[in-house]
Amino acid sequence: MLRKIFCTSALVVTVLVLGCTVWAQSMEVGRVNPATHTLTITLKGKIGPILSGSDPLGLDGQSGTVKIVASESLSPITHTATSATYKLPAGAITVTAGTNKFSTKSPSKMIINLTSAADTLTLVVAGQVGGFSVMVTDATFLKTGSWTTAVLKHPGAFVPSPQKLTAAKTATGSGCKIKYTVLGNTSVLGFSGTARNSATVDPVLPEVDWEQ
């Protein structure tokens, strides 16, 4: 009797193992390539105070969010021993400032600079607000050592995340700030809040074979 139970159990285990193997093979298209990641950076907080200009869009005191989505496989278009400039495709950056929201319709620039005082992330984007063309430059100051030098070859996540962002006190000084130009008017405002990021693995898409 015990021998019969043992044989029956072994048969069940064998069937389960084979079934799992077949299921894993059928899920082959769901496997991922660990070398390919998508990086998402989100800057969220409050805009202000006004550091220079007249602020024609009325952004002072408004909430603001900047979201960047970039492939970690990108290579810089220019770089030095401490900085790298990346070209992001249209739509990679979305900006919300108060009631104004736009996503990029043309390529943008993302500049990472590693210094002894701070690691900085600078974005240069163009968009449309209320039918008017707007040029925005966003400067974010992170803790020194947030990135390793590997970020000068490919975009990558900063550590720690999230980080507190402190608004600049002057238009040309250190600290987080947003500069925008609309209808020939340029304004600079501080920005305080948080910066966070994450990296997700991209799935490997299957080849399409219509003859199967």
Q: Looking at the structure, tell me whether residues 4 and 108 fall in a common domain.
A: no
Nearest CA among 21, 34, 26, 22 for reference residue 206: 26
Q: Looking at the structure, tell me whether residues 72 and 168 fall in a common domain.
A: yes
Token pair 């039918």: residue: 131
Q: Looking at the structure, tell me whether residues 77 and 114 fall in a common domain.
A: yes
Q: Which comes out higher in pLDDT, residue 137 or 11?
A: 137
Residue 209 located in a structural domain: no
What's the total number of domains in the chain? 2
Q: Looking at the structure, tell me whether residues 84 and 146 fall in a common domain.
A: yes
Q: Looking at the structure, tell me whether residues 174 and 85 fall in a common domain.
A: yes
Residue 207 located in a structural domain: no
Residue 59 located in a structural domain: yes
Nearest CA among 188, 181, 66 for reference residue 132: 181
Q: Looking at the structure, tell me whether residues 84 and 167 fall in a common domain.
A: yes
DSSP strand pairing (78-79 vs 163-165):
unpaired
Q: Looking at the structure, tell me whether residues 119 and 191 fall in a common domain.
A: yes
Asked if the model's pLDDT at residue 18 lies above 50, the reply is no
Global pTM value: 0.79
Q: Write out the residue range of the structural domain in which residue 19 sits.
A: 1-30
Q: Looking at the structure, tell me whether residues 71 and 4 fall in a common domain.
A: no
Q: What is the pLDDT of residue 203?
A: 65
Asked if the model's pLDDT at residue 2 lies above 90, the reply is no
Residue 188 located in a structural domain: yes
CB 55 within 8 A of CB 177: no
Q: Looking at the structure, tell me whether residues 17 and 64 fall in a common domain.
A: no
Q: Looking at the structure, tell me whether residues 45 and 141 fall in a common domain.
A: yes
How many CB atoms are located within 10 Å of the residue 190 CB? 24
Residue 49 located in a structural domain: yes
Query: Residue 114: helix, strand or coil by DSSP?
Result: strand
Q: What is the pLDDT of residue 1?
A: 45
Confidence bin at 202 (pLDDT 50/70/90): confident
HSE, side-chain direction, 13 A CA sphere, residue 19: 6
Q: Looking at the structure, tell me whether residues 70 and 53 fall in a common domain.
A: yes
Residues 6+ apart with CB under 8 A from 115: 82, 144
